[in-house]
Amino acid sequence: MHLTVIARILGIFLMLFSITMVPPIIISVIYDDGATDAFITAMLLILGIGFTSWLPVRRVHEELRTRDGFLIAALFWLTLGLAGTLPFMIADKPGLDFADAFFESLSGWTTTGATVMTGLEYLPKSILWYRQQLQWMGGMGIIVLAVAILPMLGIGGMQLYRAEMPGPMKDSKLTPRIAETAKALWYIYLFLTISCALAYWAAGMSLFDAISHSFATVGIGGFSTYDASIGYFDSPLIEGIAIFFMLIAALNFSLHFFAWRNRTLLHYFEDSELKFFFLVLGGGVLLAISALWYTGTYDFTHSVRYGLFEVVSVATTAGFGTSDFSVWPVFLPVLLFMMAFIGGCTGSTGGGM
């Protein structure tokens, strides 16, 4: 176990993470929300801790082994989860204690989407942006981003990639070099995020809300800037956009890469995992709509609207809400939780098996 190399890499991670405090600082200045000092303080603390960890071992260069990659992947989530608590604790609003701040930070990084924060619409805009940004960075797996950067710093990334990526993707490279693979995935991820934000904006969201919700939609995290989630907007068009991008993000990103490189969509129809995913999803949607309409929970139009959205949202592990499915009749809540357990496809930003 190369502990000195691991300490060096984690130090670099922390220093890189400190830079991500810049966008919330800019947002705080624009909206004059009073959280600027909190983010500057957090940035300096994280930068200082990372620099202190990196400096003594900066000249250590050893080849990483696979087990080193697994350890770094585990320590990565723990270390950046802990670092991510600082703005939540330092800012007057929300002013969380350590346990709640760590929960919120780790929920964002892992795109779980569970939250201990309420009254979101009354919090500083920069705090809301920061929550969404955590999910966006965690969505693709920031380690995949790291392997695009670390080779420039003389650190091999294949062990990190194998430790982080699930299923059959861990042994396949979309491009000859692993760093190029990571960059390709992130270019696609960024393109989908921008497209989603523009679609939300065109559908009536403010620019701030559009970008914030695009982070959580493409990252399949489910954080929102409102307690009522997507239901706050009460817009079938916005819900339709969310459904489309949640489905896109729940597919294997290698499929998107091949579509982009080869300028064809035919391989989507040939992928067995995609076909099974949509078969399960379609069955869940039909069951949900039928049960909601048959039991008189909603009329047919609203049964289709709420049934379709909630099934896609839960099955892709996004967790956006437009209605309270926990009080839906008969077997539907159990059905949704079972579908969430299956989750998105291998190599997607979704969770599940």
**What would the two tokens of residue 119 be?**
């009254």
User: Residue 261: its pLDDT value, please?
Assistant: 83
pLDDT in tens, 123-132: 999 999 999 9
User: Residue 211: its pLDDT value, please?
Assistant: 97
User: Cβ-count burial of 172 within 10 angstroms (0-12 exposed, 13-18 middle, 19+ buried)?
Assistant: exposed
CA distance 148 to 143: 9
User: Residue 290: its pLDDT value, please?
Assistant: 95
Q: At what angle do helices 178-202 and 142-149 cross, to 10 degrees?
A: 130
Q: Is the dihedral of CA 326, 328, 333, 334 positive or negative?
A: positive
- Peptide bond between residue 236 and the one before it cis (omega within 30 degrees of 0): no
**What would the two tokens of residue 9 be?**
């890499």
Q: Which residues does the chain have with pLDDT short of 70? A: 1, 64, 66, 142-179, 353
Residue ranges per domain, the chain? Answer: 3-164, 174-353
What region, left, alpha or beta, does residue 113 occupy, with left being phi > 0 and alpha being psi -120 to 50 degrees?
left
Q: Strand, coil or helix: what is 64?
A: coil
Other beta carbons less than 10 A from residue 334's beta carbon:
9
What region, left, alpha or beta, does residue 63 occupy, with left being phi > 0 and alpha being psi -120 to 50 degrees?
beta
Report the amino acid identity of residue 98.
F
User: Residue 176: its pLDDT value, please?
Assistant: 56
User: Residue 111: its pLDDT value, please?
Assistant: 87
CA distance 165 to 187: 17
Please, are residues 353 and 343 in contact by the beta-carbon 8 Å criterion?
yes
User: Cβ-count burial of 4 within 10 angstroms (0-12 exposed, 13-18 middle, 19+ buried)?
Assistant: middle
Q: Is the dihedral of CA 101, 104, 107, 111 positive or negative?
A: negative
> Model pTM?
0.87
- Peptide bond between residue 333 and the one before it cis (omega within 30 degrees of 0): no
Nearest CA among 137, 220, 134, 147 for reference residue 183: 147
Phi, psi of 163 (to 5 degrees): -70, -30
